[in-house]
């Protein structure tokens, strides 16, 4: 049997997560950000343009989850949408070895990005160099950028068309809000493109 202190720590963590989510929800421009991000994604999908996603570590998992919800399904069956996470191990290791880890995302943005398409760039610090290079590549290709970041947005803030900033410096709490943003973006896109599902 675990000590009471262990269970209390877990409860405290959940309470903290709830508080941070409430602080995030209180941001005055949050609705406008969601409207813009959904518009970017809907416009790309309506034109059959690729929507790419990338992140490091746990954010890689979030980027993959974002893409598979579009190519698979979120709630009910419907046609797949052209989303792709930049997470192929052979690509990542090839580019990291031949060019450098800073280029692992930008190379695929340059390869697959299309004007009017979109990139979901995830960095809890907002300063990951490979994410910043991916955003720069997106700008060159005229790909719209949706950012998920921490409290300041870091260096990526100015490169994004819209950036969601989570008001905490704790990486795990930032990531917890990021997945909520991702799920709600997906649902909003589905409601627009496939209203019959709802």
Number of domains in the chain: 1
Instruction: Give me the pLDDT at residue 10, please.
Output: 87
Residue at 77 is within a domain: yes
CATH number at residue 185: 3.40.50.10490
**CB atoms inside a 10 Å sphere around CB 58:** 16
**CA torsion angle 14 15 19 20 (round to 10):** -30
Tell me what pLDDT residue 150 has: 98
Domain limits at 108? Answer: 29-197
pLDDT of residue 3: 60
pTM above 0.85, yes or no: yes
**Interatomic CA distance for residues 12 and 7, integer angstroms:** 9
Domain assignment present for residue 122? The answer is: yes
Residue 18 covered by a domain: no
Mean pLDDT by 10 residues, the chain (198 residues): 73 93 97 98 98 98 98 96 98 98 98 98 98 98 98 97 98 98 98 96
Nearest to 197 by CA among 139, 67, 187, 18: 187
Report the pLDDT value the prediction gives residue 36, as an integer from 0 to 100.
Answer: 98
């Amino acid at each position: 049997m675990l000590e009471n202190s262990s269970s209390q720590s877990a409860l405290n963590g959940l309470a903290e997560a709830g508080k941070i989510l409430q602080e995030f929800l209180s941001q005055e421009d949050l609705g406008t950000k969601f409207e813009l991000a959904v518009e970017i994604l809907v416009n790309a999908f309506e034109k059959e343009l690729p929507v790419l996603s990338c992140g490091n570590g746990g954010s890689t998992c979030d980027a993959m989850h974002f893409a598979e919800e579009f190519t698979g399904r979120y709630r009910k069956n419907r046609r797949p949408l052209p989303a792709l996470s930049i997470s192929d191990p052979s690509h990542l290791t090839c580019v990291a070895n031949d060019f450098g880890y800073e280029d692992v995302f930008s190379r695929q943005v340059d390869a697959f990005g299309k004007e009017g398409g979109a990139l979901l760039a995830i960095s809890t610090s907002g300063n990951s160099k490979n994410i910043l290079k991916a955003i720069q590549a997106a700008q060159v290709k005229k790909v719209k950028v949706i950012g998920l970041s921490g409290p300041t947005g870091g260096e990526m803030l100015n490169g994004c068309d819209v950036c969601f900033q989570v008001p905490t410096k704790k990486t795990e709490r930032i990531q917890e809000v990021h997945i909520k943003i991702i799920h709600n973006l997906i649902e909003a896109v589905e409601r627009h493109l496939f209203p019959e599902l709802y």
